[in-house]
Amino acid sequence: MRSAWQFVVQVFSWVLLGAVVSGALALIVLPKLNDARPLTVLSGSMIPTFDPGDVVVVREADADHLQVGDVITFQPVSDDPRLTTHRVDEVRYGVDGVTYVTKGDNNDAVDLEPITPEQVRGEVWYVVPFVGYVSVWMAGGLLGSLVNLIAVGLLLYGGGFLVAGLLERRRRPEVVL
């Protein structure tokens, strides 16, 4: 019975490790290697494409060559750090150059102001569902501090096991067969 329980725990540990490594690759490594950035979806304006709590990874786009249907992240108001991610609904060409009319998939009307290429921060590359809930939940106040404290504690705990294992290996005489 103990052997079966150990097997279940080991399988669960490997699955959890695989999920953490996959998440780190998708949310940290790939974006860093491709000059992209992960952003958490906070509203329902893009349902069913993106749900609140999803993380969209946005990479640089050639803002002068966007097409209808592209999903872009843009800064609606200069000097305001808030970003919006909507779909290009129409491309307009005028005397002032190209502008983009955007619309959330879940919205009834297009956004009030067209977007200029200078406002575009990137194009959505891929999405990682649900992960944003965790990051938003852990980012705030006392809980964020507690999570950071626990993370440091776990790193120290793991480091202690590593050092203990290395010391044990040094003390143990090698057996030659």
Q: Following DSSP, what letter does each residue of 104-124 receive, concatenated?
A: -TT-SS--SSPBPGGGEEEEE
pTM of the model: 0.70
Strands ordered across the beta sheet of 71-74 = 36-40, 55-59, 120-128, 71-74, 84-94, 97-103
CATH class of 36-129: mainly beta
User: Is the Cβ–Cβ distance between 23 and 90 less than 8 Å?
Assistant: no
The pLDDT value given to residue 70: 96
The pLDDT value given to residue 177: 61
Better pLDDT: 39 or 174: 39
The pLDDT value given to residue 175: 62
The pLDDT value given to residue 141: 65
Domain assignments of the chain as residue spans, ordered by start: 1-33, 36-129, 140-170
Whole-angstrom distance, CA of residue 141 vs CA of residue 80:
23
- Which residue numbers are catalytic? 43
The pLDDT value given to residue 136: 66
pLDDT in tens, 22-73: 888 888 888 989 999 999 998 999 999 999 889 999 999 888 789 999 999 9
Average pLDDT over residues 87-93: 95
Average pLDDT over residues 74-92: 93
